[in-house]
Amino acid sequence: MIPGTTAPDWFRIPVGDWASAALDWFKVACKGFLDVVGFVMNWLVESLGDGLIAIPFLLLIAIFALIGWAVRSWRFALGSIVTFLLIVAMNQWENAMYTLSLVLIATLVAIAIAVPLGIWAARNDRVSAAIKPVLDFMQTMPAFVYLIPAVIFFTVGFAPGVFATIIFALPPGVRFTELGIRGVDGETVEAGYAFGATPGEILRGIQLPLAMPTIMAGINQVIMLALSMAVVAGMAGANGLGKEVISSISTLNVSKGVEAGLSVVLLAVFLDRVTASLGRPSEYPGSLRAALRTKRDAARSAARAAA
């Protein structure tokens, strides 16, 4: 150490030691709860991953393509077929399905926490002011740090990966939900109250529908961050593309690293396009959903004209 660059012992604040002691205490005090949570998370991811792998890959690719056509366009569906077949050709299909299952479970849990919390923050300024520094802390903390308490609580496997992914991906969901609710036109809300609507009816009938594009943008970001963290979770022993990337780094296997990394990118593109389309359905008239809506509206118009 260069003299003058470190604080004297009497001035040092052992924040790290306090955090370590707090984690150790929490692990001992909540051992039963952590065991149950770890078992459930492992079971959910493994069951979903095994279920996806059990489906013939051609059938599952067809389902993914149908989802892409339903929300976006037949061109996107065709591109999805090509990209998923490329994942199969690189022999990364099984790893991709385990990564997809981890991302889906972590995203569902994060959304279940983020959306209600964002609504609460949008309706209460004190709650908003209280959670903002917490969200700032969660977003700026390096992703690898989340693996430390995750592994302490749940050892190795899918559970620490899901836990760390939820924490890392949660903040955008809360922020975008609050932003969307607060961005709803005040006059529209006042008109709802003028007609005698309750706060719950205002939320369900006015604020949530109008804020949905913004909320879906937040969910899109949650999924993208979850996918990026799922790769880091490979360090905690979670099977999938992340484990392949970590293995390729440790062995300097360039081909395996490129194939696993490219599979992550292709999976991310599919999830990004699908969730973006769900938030802005009117921008994709070529989707199957838009075609069915147009056909339904035409049938209703014809029925009214006949009447």
Neighbours of 56 (CB within 10 A): 9
Least trusted range by pLDDT, from 75-84, 86-95, 252-261: 252-261
pLDDT at 307: 61
CATH 1.10.3720.10 for domain 31-282? yes
Q: Cα separations (Å) of 48 from 33, 41, 57, 158, 277? A: 23, 11, 15, 12, 24
Report the percentage of the chain scoring pLDDT > 70.
87
Residue 291 has pLDDT above 70, yes or no: no
**Cα first-last separation, the chain:** 89
Q: Which helix (DSSP H) or strand (DSSP E) does residue 2 occupy?
A: none
Residue 4 has pLDDT above 70, yes or no: no
Distance separating alpha carbons of residues 237 and 144, to the nearest angstrom: 13
| pLDDT range class, residue 288, cuts 50, 70, 90 | low
Residue 235 has pLDDT above 80, yes or no: no
Residue 100 has pLDDT above 80, yes or no: yes
> Which distant-in-sequence residues (6+ apart) come within 8 Å of 21 by Cβ?
none
R_g over Cα of the chain = 23
Phi and psi at 287, nearest 5°, equal -75, 155
For the chain, how many residues are written? 307
Q: Which is nearest to 38 in space by CA: 225, 243, 236, 305?
A: 236
State both tokens at 304: 């009214």
Determine if residue 157 is left, alpha or beta; phi over 0 gives left, psi from -120 to 50 gives alpha, anything else beta: left
Block residue for tokens 């955008």: 172
State both tokens at 60: 């599952």
Report the percentage of the chain scoring pLDDT > 90.
10
